[in-house]
A = this chain, B = another copy of it.
Amino acid sequence: MSRDAWSGKDVLSILDFSRQDLEQLFAVADDFVERPDSVEKSLSDRIVATAFFEPSTRTRLSFSTAAIKLGAKVIDLSPEASSVMKGESLPDTIRMLESYSDLIVMRHPSEGAALLASEVGRVPIVNGGDGSQHHPSQAMLDLFTIKRLKGRIDGLRYAVLGDVRYARSATSFLYGLSKYSPRVVYLVSPEGLRIKSEVKATLDGFNLETQQVEDIEKVLDKVDVVYMTRIQKERFPDPNEYERVKGSYKITKSTLANAKDAIVMHPLPRTGELAYDVDSLPNAAYMEQARMGVPVRMALLHLVLGDRKR
């Protein structure tokens, strides 16, 4: 299988990868999960820089762990990034980091920041989330988790719940689904958090049809996967609107009573929209999802930066 799609490339959006590319990633990740003792140090003598201009514990630490497990060293700009670096232009910061490292994993609040970085930098840029649309490695691990738990991604029924407007994990997940053939995709979100028209247009262009529904109760017994997101206060222009909607889309043990087949996914952290009493149900897939962060990011780093074919 060709590694041309990955080797030395930037990873800015899951839209830039074909279904075949993703399947290649999943095969490597699967191998890392199933045979952890046979992992080669394919990144030894490589340095991975993490630069998080917005806090992110899971993404930063799981990329760091993934890099370490492949033998790379990690340098971290993040503490400064959130304060000191604000006076410097992003291109200057990226040029500095590429003097020190072989690959940069970055997160940034602004849409297009990773693209800008990739235009400046000579080393591969991995987008650990920017703006409200792109978080490709999250979408990759989400799809991988579904494939492992349900055996496939095609033909399933999905509900994406909560903030489908501002949550980059939700948008990226939908972009990822557009590479596959779901049976149906319900979007369940309050009026102020519905999908952006340009995102909808992009999905239409990939022939991914979505159906807007008002009430999660109406579709919970009709789906295989519930993909939840945190409703993030900081993305709301109006805090009153946030207060009004935040409780509306909560999943608890009782709401899942008739949803035997649905696995519940959530990129975490959760802040109330996903009750702790769900943790012990067989529906709960979010801990397994979190665990898949490391092998999927290992596979990504290996394919982009690993020296030899696997």
Contacts and interface: CB of A to CB of B under 8 A. Distances in A.
Given A57-B84, A57-B96, A65 B77 contact: no
Nearest to A89: B276
Interface stretch (A201-209, A218-226, A266-274): A266-274
A92 B268 contact: yes
A42 interface: no
A281 interface: no
A149 interface: no
A73 B77 contact: no
A100 B57 contact: no
A131 interface: no
Interface in A36-86: 47, 49, 55, 57-58, 61-62, 64-65, 68-69, 73, 75, 77-80, 83-85
Contacts of A290: 95-96, 99
Given A65-B47, A84-B57, A294 B79 contact: no
Nearest to A272: B87
A47 B75 contact: no
A252 interface: no
Contacts of A49: 61
A162 interface: no
A7 interface: no
Interface string A93-111: 1011101110000000000
A246 to B, nearest CB: 13
Given A92-B269, A269-B87, A276-B89, A293 B57 contact: no
Contact of A68 (B73, B85, B87): B73
Q: Most chain-B CB neighbours within 10 Å: which of A85, A96, A268, A287?
A: A96
Contacts of A101: 65
A294 B65 contact: no
A77 B57 contact: yes
Given A92-B268, A92-B270, 16 more contacts: A47-B68, A49-B61, A55-B83, A55-B84, A57-B84, A62-B100, A65-B100, A79-B79, A87-B271, A88-B269, A88-B270, A88-B271, A95-B287, A95-B290, A99-B290, A99-B294
Interface of A: 47, 49, 55, 57-58, 61-62, 64-65, 68-69, 73, 75, 77-80, 83-85, 87-89, 92-93, 95-97, 99-101, 268-271, 276, 287, 290-291, 293-294
Minimum-distance CB pairs A-B, first 3: A65-B100, A88-B269, A55-B84
